[in-house]
């Protein structure tokens, strides 16, 4: 199997197919145009400069193009940079497609749908169950394809659904240790908490923010959707307000985007499980790229920390 | 005309009818029960102790009762306290009613409705106009009676409507000086911005927070209402999202309750006009109670400041 | 079974044995001495005033005394207060002992020792295992009796050990879902993280802070203990520094008492599990005292929130 | 009429006269000297590189020089950059002068003087009137030419006076709606609040900070000036202290530069009007450069927000 | 010699003359008036209640009265309270005067004047020397009597001058270790830094804030005074601005009252010496009241810390 | 004597020997490799580019190499940059050694040892004296060579010992003015406070952080060392805990790295003296590089201030 982009060292030769993630034209200090390409595979991405680029090059190597290239991995101002030796667009004969270059969840969409459906099936409170099922069905296609975030954690195809499945499994373990929890409410909150992202973000790949996303945000969007769903399903009762509260408060603090703090036990737990799973995902992805005895890069979403992988993890620990 | 409660000094005799705002039973250090009454008229309120109270007293002098009393204004730990000499419940013959003791807006409900209707009538954008008219009509009765807040500013009967009328007049002046403003949007934002309080609060008098108020808050409630109104009126288009954004962002900062900062010029202006009118109201009410050369009490909602009324205001200024 | 102190309402008669938690002499406004007693049973505590107290009363009703009393539950300035009708010291014939009045963990010390021993037994890394076993053995008696904190969470006899057992079980569940975790390190961190409290606090009941507690704190104390243990056991290697780091960083932020943020994955997880279990404990204890449809008192350690117990929890949920 | 610099897009040809705002010599990666020029007209500015520059070039194209050039608008690392094709110094025959390239207030100095004089004329309090007139007269020339700030808002020739005129008009409107305001005090505070900038800044164009500006700041400078003026005019009385307080507190908070918060109603209003006008100015200038449906650049002084211009503003709104 | 108020324990009998620091009338729970007296001697103060007070008592025991009393030291809600047994006003025959009850600096005014004069005499820069001498002379009487603050540190008669003398001595030591310091500037800054307090505060005893104190503050007041002095003495030059800067910046941060941070080395040192001497004074005064092995009360101005006096200080250390 | 690197101006020719502080390979925009060298002498450092570098160059001009070069001082993006004209490695014949290029303390190691030994000799408390002597002896070699910090203050060879000597001298001066201070405790705290840096940092030159440094930090390391030393010396008593507290709290606040605030008078003084000496060192080093009338560069560790050197310091002041 080919080595992924994330694992090359300075000086190594790179040879293979890559997806152009972005392509920006600039002018060199000698006055000539060049392209700054971000090239990606399933493991990561790297910058490369295409010097003396022609107008045709701009078209051939635009974002979403697949290219075949060879080059040498270098370092520019402390960041990896690929020095191109040869580059050409991929052709149909090459037999490569965009999804080959996108990271994706470790479970299939079918597996994830089945798991989530089972959790909904187990719910005993019909009001909570119906609202959850209604909204999941309404946005199921997008839900199964979107990333959980544009960066930081679970930022891959189907990342949102995978994040929800992990959280549901964690909630089940958790409620076995702390039986006072209302699992109906907690499962529903988990399934709905980030569903507004399918409206906040523009799409499953290379997502940007929509106007609704910028002006309202996924939390407000989903709180509204729950209200509309309840009206459509003719459900009244505290469950509606409480579910809206779970979504509204799941960022926990005003300065993190939740105008109300969690005031329901399951709302607090939802916030903590969300945080736990996101942090595990970020830590694992960062630590996967270093060897025992090394520190990771600074992780912005982990308060800019560099994590250390202990030397003895080479020996005793599973990872 | 009788002197209002806010204007008595220590040692003066008080004699007249008052509304019991709250009544709480306690046990004195000699082991006997007593009632702590908060008595109110249109100008303010004061605490009084009814010593050695009987179970009948607890009923006669419960919250919302009207009483006739005489006593002497005193001071306990730096706060005014009325020392009761005689007290009895008011009877029908006394000819007093609750609204005699409640502070109310200086305009009638009819005047306020007329003014607001005129502003809506002037709107040129039909989407904005229809949503505004629909929601105002839906909640008009409560809107005309509710206070603008449970404390701090405009906390009187019809305070919410009066606050809106003041803001509308300010917005009109303002838009004459800065003609780039979209007055349709700004007027609509002003009319709707706090309308969610009619659901957040329990009623026009002695208001407390409802469950929806505590779990969602008036901002989220109103954003939902706009979404529902648009659906019912079959209005699509950016106006809906933008109006929701104006309401959502009118507290300006996450830590003040707005998960999104104002990203539309009129949203920023709405926030500033809201702030301006609330602060003018709080400052005027505090300064009305002191003489030139004096400082007011500390005003919690004005960052705990004591304001000074200059001596020369006795001479040159209007106030 | 007798009703616990936490469950009385205003006006109800109270009759039974209680432990005097604290006793402070004061002077009433009539110039006479009185005692302010805090009386406790396993469910909670309440204040009571003993008026016109004699010097003998001060001795009879000092802290740690057991008393038999009858009285009426009242309310003073919004806080429950017991109005005494009769009180006498308990005698040997009454057959009551201090531990009858102390809340205690729901597991026996033997059960907890067995569980923790099993977790240590499973460790594969001998350095981690030996240090953990050594320190637990050194302080086992105190560890099994101390509370986890002087207030807020697990503030009961054996609270520290019970908190550790809950965290260990949670860690096992989580490591099944997130197999990259080094359970040796995580289990050891959990067992040791608060062990310094047996030096920081004065004892298992009515704990106050020792001089070392005030000047160094339990985190620094335990980091030192790990260093000393390693020296005594002649263990060198990263495990020592990493274990010290887990304890040092388990409060997560400098302003919460950890001079270093967690830089090891298991350190971050330790912090989150600690937080999880403490918050569940606080929420459960607060919600146990209210009915569906009610809010709890403000919980200082939960950012001063009042939690809501949904009405529908009376019907569908387990609690 | 020629298109302004602010309105060119990448790839468009630029041809015309511009003012050199700054000129800095650098060394290219090929070891040769070059000049980084900032070129400006009344609408904005852009960077351009003059490669292989000679010592004569450094003199010809120094700051404050006027040049004739042609080139192509490009983009370098996300910022507009003009690629020069030809450049020459302007000559007398070209008939261009520096003020052609400087943005200036939309009112003439005469109009502004007249307006402000009228406001002073209306004052009834002679102490306030005399101090205001004295200080305005003392610094009138600079006052009429200086910008209101070195960046962010009203940073153009006569910006300070224009800002004051706008604020005075706003104050008049507001005092009609809120008649309790002391307009003498408010108008005087507005006229004097930023007058210290004529000492804090080095001049009306390309202003930098003077030593007094850096060590004392315009607020402290002006508070001193009011004290000196009062002494010279032999005015005693609270008006002096109160006027000093208005200037001292007009940034509202210690961390924004005011050691005292506003403690006079008119001081609070002065702060709010100052903020209102500055924000309207910044928002209008940012929104003027984008089309309906677009977001502006991030605005540093507006808490780094990007503002949105609604699509429906193309249709219904005035702007 | 008599024991000072600060050193009594609960239960001890108190007998002697005291100054009434404040006297406030209240109403007891039995409806009768009483006086809350704060009684003081040179070591501290204590609260006492005079029950069933008559109107004559209010006059006899008003603030600034001297009384002869006997009573027992008690404790009310954790604070010392003197239980009065007998009280009478002092008469001329008693031969006591107010200054007997006021804490005062350990140096005489003459000693302090002499020391400060010597420091001024040593200055070599005539501009700095003349301004310093001029302002000290202008306010010498008040300077020698005022406290350095209304509470926290050096809050005794002549506290301001004593604080200045301590700081000057410290500055001399310091400049011997760090010879780069400009002692002229540093000594002048020390002498002037708090001189504005003689205008900010109402007097040397029981000081409150004047209107100028509240609206401008002692820093702004003194910066103005330096400007006026320079004008009167016809001194121009950087020394004036730099001296103003030293005073302006001596609180170091905007949120502590200095709109400019220290930008001159001597300004930074002035701030640190001020802080050092104030903290030493506060710590010594707090520690003087406890025995080795004890903690002090919480010290508000020391970030609410309780300081510990080590046991071994009884043996080895000087204190 | 040769001019130091810190004192060259743009355009001046540089000629001489320098130490390569760091050397990083890059790729120029023409695709060719180059080296970015940081060259240093005892006064400062400067960047230089070696274009078209060969693999041999990378070895010859690696970090720690000494080079002979000539070039011209230039400016690149506002930072000094040396434009190389010629460069060669130094040979043995040149007679230069690394220590010629390293800034070093102004006292010899012998002088510093002697001074510190004298301070320890003066201690009267044997517990404090023995622990101090033991730890100083254990780490004496490193202590005499390490810098006090990797940047900001005393970042030169023997900087740590020199910082300690300065602080001890300051402590002696201060304790003469404030005789309540326990000099044994204060001297010991000064000697030990940063000694953990010899374990936290990798070495005396070009220091980086060790694993213990990153995971525990020098404060925790030293607190442990004191505990171990006491055990080894069989010293028990409050002195051990109090000394650990002095080290633990010397950064004063949790957010600055001290989990406990100073609770002992000498701990507070230790913090202030540490701060005093570090700030004097930073200010002197920054001001040494500018002329009277100029501002320094922004000093990161002085809250990013630019300090001003007054013009009159050219005339009157010593510096």
pLDDT in tens, E42-97: 888 899 999 988 888 988 998 888 999 999 988 776 678 899 999 999 998 888 88
The mean pLDDT value for B81-99 works out to: 89
Question: Of A216, A231, A255, which has the smallest distance from its Cβ to B260's Cβ?
Answer: A216
C238:F211 CB<8 A? yes
Query: Residue D25: beta bridge partners?
Result: D35
Q: Is the pLDDT of residue D317 over 60?
A: no
Which one-letter DSSP state was computed for residue E258? -
Question: Residue B30's pLDDT is what?
Answer: 67
Question: Of A27, A211, A214, which has the smallest distance from its Cβ to D76's Cβ?
Answer: A27
Question: How far is F306 from C221, CA to CA, in rounded Å?
Answer: 42
Which is nearest to E161 in space by CA: E146, E183, E171, E176?
Answer: E146
Q: Which residues in chain C are closer than 8 Å to E51, comparing Cβ atoms?
A: 29, 31
Whether chains F and E touch (3+ CB pairs under 8 A) is answered by yes
Q: How many CB atoms lie within 10 A of CB A133?
A: 18
**pLDDT of D2-29, one tens digit each?**
688 888 888 889 999 998 888 888 777 6
Which is nearest to F43 in space by CA: F18, F65, F68?
Answer: F18
What phi and psi, each to the nearest 5 degrees, are found at residue A43?
-100, -20
Question: Residue F226's pLDDT is what?
Answer: 97
How distant is the Cα of D253 from the closest Cα of chain F, in angstroms?
Answer: 20
CA atoms within 13 A on the CB side of E302: 29
Q: Is the pLDDT of residue F16 over 80?
A: yes
- CA B305 to the chain's CA centroid: 20
How distant is the Cα of E291 from the closest Cα of chain D, in angstroms?
Answer: 41
Between strands D13-27 and E44-50, the pairing is unpaired
Question: Of C28, C74, C83, which has the smallest distance from its Cβ to B29's Cβ?
Answer: C28
Run of H or E including B66:
strand B66-76
Q: Which residues in chain D are closer than 8 Å to A29, comparing Cβ atoms?
A: 28-30, 49, 51
Mutate to test the interface with C, among A184, A276, A291 (most CBs of C within 10 A): A276
C43 vs A162 pLDDT, higher one: A162
Q: Is the pLDDT of residue A318 over 50?
A: no
Q: How confident is the model at residue C30 (pLDDT cuts 50, 70, 90)?
A: low
E strand segments, chain F: 13-27, 33-41, 44-50, 66-76, 79-89
How distant is the Cα of F283 from the closest Cα of chain E, in angstroms?
Answer: 7
- Exposure string of B39-59, with b = 16+ CB inside 10 Å and e = fewer, is bbbbbbbbebbbeebeeebee
How distant is the Cα of B33 from the closest Cα of chain C, in angstroms?
Answer: 10
Interface of chain C toward chain F, CB-CB under 8 angstroms: 211-212, 214-217, 219-220, 223-224, 227-228, 231, 238, 241-242, 244-245, 248, 254-260, 263-264
Q: What is the mean pLDDT of chain A?
A: 90
Question: Residue B266's pLDDT is what?
Answer: 98
B26:C76 CB<8 A? yes
The mean pLDDT value for E247-275 works out to: 97
Run of H or E including D14:
strand D13-27
**pLDDT of F209-246, one tens digit each?**
999 999 999 999 999 999 999 999 999 989 999 999 99
Three-class SS state of E37: strand
Question: Of D228, D241, D260, which has the smallest distance from its Cβ to E231's Cβ?
Answer: D228
How distant is the Cα of E265 from the closest Cα of chain F, in angstroms?
Answer: 7
Query: Residue F71: beta bridge partners?
Result: F14, F84
The mean pLDDT value for D125-131 works out to: 97
Q: How confident is the model at residue C1 (pLDDT cuts 50, 70, 90)?
A: very low
Question: Residue C206's pLDDT is what?
Answer: 65
Alpha carbon separation from C276 to A260, C150, F24 (Å, rounded): 20, 18, 46
B316:D125 CB<8 A? yes
D263:B170 CB<8 A? no
Number of helices (H) and strands (E) in chain F: give both, helices first. 11, 5
Q: How confident is the model at residue B4 (pLDDT cuts 50, 70, 90)?
A: confident
Mutate to test the interface with F, among A72, A75, A85, A296 (most CBs of F within 10 A): A75
Three-class SS state of E172: helix
Q: How confident is the model at residue B190 (pLDDT cuts 50, 70, 90)?
A: very high
Question: How far is F54 from F60, CA to CA, in rounded Å?
Answer: 10
Whether chains E and A touch (3+ CB pairs under 8 A) is answered by no
Question: How far is D260 from E200, CA to CA, in rounded Å?
Answer: 13
Question: Residue A315's pLDDT is what?
Answer: 65
Are D31 and F51 in contact by the 8 Å Cβ rule? The answer is: yes
A265:C283 CB<8 A? yes
Mutate to test the interface with A, among B215, B218, B239, B244 (most CBs of A within 10 A): B215
Question: Residue E189's pLDDT is what?
Answer: 98
D181:B318 CB<8 A? yes
ipTM: 0.83
A212: nearest CA partner in chain D: D308
CA atoms within 13 A on the CB side of C8: 27
| CB within 8 Å of B51: residues ≥ 6 apart | B28, B32, B34, E29, E31
D251: nearest CA partner in chain E: E259
**pLDDT of F248-274, one tens digit each?**
999 999 999 999 999 999 999 999 999
Q: Which residues in chain B are closer than 8 Å to D319, comparing Cβ atoms?
A: 179-182
**pLDDT of B224-277, one tens digit each?**
999 999 999 999 989 999 999 999 999 999 999 999 999 999 999 999 999 999
Question: Residue F63's pLDDT is what?
Answer: 82
Question: Residue A103's pLDDT is what?
Answer: 80
Question: Residue A319's pLDDT is what?
Answer: 40
Taking each helix axis from N to C end, the angle separating E183-192 and E265-287, rounded to the nearest 10 degrees, works out to: 50
Question: Residue F55's pLDDT is what?
Answer: 84
The mean pLDDT value for A228-252 works out to: 96
Which is nearest to D287 in space by CA: B79, C277, E295, B181?
Answer: B181
Question: Of C51, C77, C308, which has the smallest distance from its Cβ to B31's Cβ?
Answer: C51
Which is nearest to B251 in space by CA: B265, B266, B272?
Answer: B272
Q: How confident is the model at residue B182 (pLDDT cuts 50, 70, 90)?
A: very high
Q: Is the pLDDT of residue A75 over 90?
A: no
The mean pLDDT value for C54-59 works out to: 88
How distant is the Cα of A177 from the closest Cα of chain C, in angstroms?
Answer: 7
The mean pLDDT value for A264-280 works out to: 97
Predicted model pTM = 0.87
């Amino acid at each position: 199997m080919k080595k992924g982009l994330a694992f090359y060292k300075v000086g190594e030769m790179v040879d293979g197919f890559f997806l152009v993630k972005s392509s920006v034209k600039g002018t060199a200090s000698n006055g000539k145009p060049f392209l700054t390409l971000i090239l990606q595979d399933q493991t990561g991405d790297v910058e490369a400069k295409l010097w003396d680029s022609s107008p045709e090059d701009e078209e051939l190597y635009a974002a979403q193009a697949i290219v075949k290239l060879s080059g040498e991995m270098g370092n520019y101002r402390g960041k990896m940079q690929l020095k191109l030796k040869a580059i050409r667009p991929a052709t149909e004969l090459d037999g490569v497609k965009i999804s080959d270059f996108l990271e994706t969840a470790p479970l299939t969409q079918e597996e994830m749908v089945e798991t989530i459906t089972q959790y909904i099936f187990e719910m005993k409170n019909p009001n909570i169950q119906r609202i959850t099922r209604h909204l999941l069905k309404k946005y199921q296609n997008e839900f199964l394809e979107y990333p959980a975030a544009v960066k930081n954690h679970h930022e891959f195809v189907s990342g949102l659904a995978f994040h929800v499945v992990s959280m549901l499994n964690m909630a089940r373990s958790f409620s076995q240790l702390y039986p006072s929890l209302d699992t109906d409410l907690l499962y529903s909150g988990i399934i709905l908490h980030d569903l507004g992202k399918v409206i906040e973000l523009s799409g499953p790949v290379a997502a940007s923010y929509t106007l609704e996303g910028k002006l309202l945000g996924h939390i407000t969007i989903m709180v509204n959707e729950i209200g509309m769903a309840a009206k459509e399903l003719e459900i009244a009762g505290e469950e509606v307000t409480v579910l809206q509260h779970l979504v509204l408060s799941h960022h926990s603090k005003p300065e993190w985007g939740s105008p109300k703090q969690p005031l329901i036990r399951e709302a607090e737990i939802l916030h903590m499980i969300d945080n736990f799973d996101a942090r595990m995902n970020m830590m694992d992805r960062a630590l996967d790229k270093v060897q025992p005895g090394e520190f990771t890069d600074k992780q912005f979403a982990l308060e800019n920390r560099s994590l250390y992988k202990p030397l003895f993890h080479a020996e005793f620990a599973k990872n």
